[in-house]
Amino acid sequence: MKVSEAIKFMSKSYLNRIVDSFTKDFSKQSESQARDTIIKNLKELADLSRIKNLLNIYKEKYHQQILQINILESLLNNPDHTAEEEELFGLVEEKEKQILKEAMSDTCFQYADNRSLDILKTVLGVAIEDNVLSSDELRLIKNLRNKLKLSENEQFLLLAQLNHYPQAKNKLHDRTDFSTAILNLQKRGVVFYCNKFPEGPIYVIPQELVTGVKAALGFELSKKAYKKLLDKLNINQLKKILGNENVKTGGKKPDLIRRIIDVDINPSDALNSLPSKDLYILCKRLPGAQISGTKQDKIDRIINYFSELIVKKISEEGDPREIYYEYLTELASRDRRNLLANNVIKKDKEMDNAFEEGTRYLFEKKLGLKLEKLPGTNNPDGSIAFGKYERFMWDNKSKENVYVFPQSHLRQFKSYIRDSKKRVSCFLIIVPGLGENIEENAYKLKAESQSDTDVALITAEDLKWVAENWKKYSTKDKFDLEVFNITGVLTRSLLSKRMELF
């Protein structure tokens, strides 16, 4: 979510927190004034050095630093870098519990150098004798940890063994701690609180600020994106990465990938251990990625490529169409980079069929509706019985930019409607984005259908939103198609009203 979109869903007080983060020259502004100020100062707001300075971890108590790091990393690991408050607190709490659990396991440091661990543990033990880690101590510890080739995660595990993670006596952060930390991050202008978001309030790191936050934290890739990157490498390359860090190299490919992530090898370090020729071949296999430049250029390019991927959680068991549903908006907009990198499709020509299958999954599994199988070959992408004597039809139209409803499609849809033995009550067109004046052909098709068929247009994103949220409006087992039974563009606000009505 970009800054310009996020601020639409924020009320006055939350907008002014962002304004105050980069200037004190304004008194409290109205919503519209604050939005204008943020947009006009977007370059300063997203400035890399500003964000790094704001997130300087040495400015506050260490347990507060840990909490803020966990909040930010949880958001960075989430799709779209957003989360509801309950979800975000749960992610942070789970991270803290996981560290404590892992610290007590026999395999905690199975890949680390024992001598290095002993040195760092001794220094940490001395530093926390007074229950305070000063900024000078933290700088020294960080430098020592880097020299010993130990990760921050290993430092957390050692602190847990010393009974000092995430704070003294291994006490977890509570709601009050979380509220204080998230407020602090809002006041620094790096986390936006969209309290007016349609599906409920969310926290977000806007797209323009992500690079700066990652740089400040030394965060290169989410775990899901890193796993995607490593999956593109062969076994010999994975073994070379592990061998370079003096970690055992036995096992199958999934074992090697898991081990690289478990020992916290940075993506840049992993790639740097490979020869430039291997990086050239990898770049060549990434859709749209440049292949020229120095070795460091290639490393940066690969990391940037995977950091921009939209990686979604897909259950490994169950309906194989689920992956098409999860990537429905990317299929609609023909986002080949994300589709190919996430193995949603193997070839460009598979996009249209995957878009259709994902939509069928949505109507059948998410909306609880039974699909019709139509006779013949000149048919739309889907059909559902609409009462005893009518039917509902839809057609998918993927496009790299907005949909403009060309005359050829008007003729195509008209033939579908006229050839139907049952009256088509509503014909839904599912598209990536909506161009200007497209309603004109919708009304024209309704008039020329010879059956007074309503013609509705909806984006794949909004259709998926309906699939995820309609049960909030209904206690029924299946979705009421009357929600779509209207001529024109189905905006999200209109959909909300019609779901309340039907």
Q: How far is CA 73 from the centre of its chain?
A: 12
CATH ID of 371-501, from 3.40.91.30, 3.30.360.10, 3.50.50.60, 2.30.29.30: 3.40.91.30
pTM, whole model, 2 decimals?
0.75
Per-residue pLDDT at 385 = 95
**Which tens digit of pLDDT belongs to each residue from 123-182?**
999 988 887 777 788 888 989 988 888 888 899 999 999 999 999 999 999 999 999 999
Q: How far is CA 292 from CA 228, 276, 285, 306, in A?
A: 22, 11, 13, 18
Q: What is the reported pLDDT for 59?
A: 63
Q: What is the DSSP string of 47-113?
A: -HHHHHHHT-GGGS-HHHHHHHHHHHHHHHHSGGGEE-HHHHHHHHHHHHHHHHHHHTSTTTTTTS-
- For tokens 């290993």, what's the residue? 154
The values of phi and psi at residue 423, to 5°, are -65, 135
Structural tokens at position 429: 């067109």
* 3-state secondary structure at position 304: helix
Beta-sheet strands, E only, within 241-380? none
Amino acid at 113: D
- Look at residue 164 in the predicted model and tell me its pLDDT: 92
d(CA 283, CA 185): 36
Instruction: For residue 380, give every residue at least 6 positions away whose Cβ sits within 8 Å of its Cβ, in sequence order, or none.
Output: 393, 394, 395, 413, 416, 427
pLDDT of residue 414: 96
Give 58's pLDDT tier (boundaries 50, 70, 90). low
Q: Which amino acid is at 150?
A: L
For the beta carbon of residue 318, count every other beta carbon within 10 angstroms: 9
- Of the pLDDT bands very low, low, confident and very high (cuts 50, 70, 90), residue 315 is confident
- According to DSSP, the residues that pair with 424 across neighbouring strands are 391
Backbone φ and ψ of 390, nearest 5°:
-130, 170
Categorize the per-residue pLDDT at 270 as very low, low, confident or very high, splitting at 50, 70 and 90.
very high
All structural domains of the chain with their residue ranges: 3-217, 223-307, 371-501
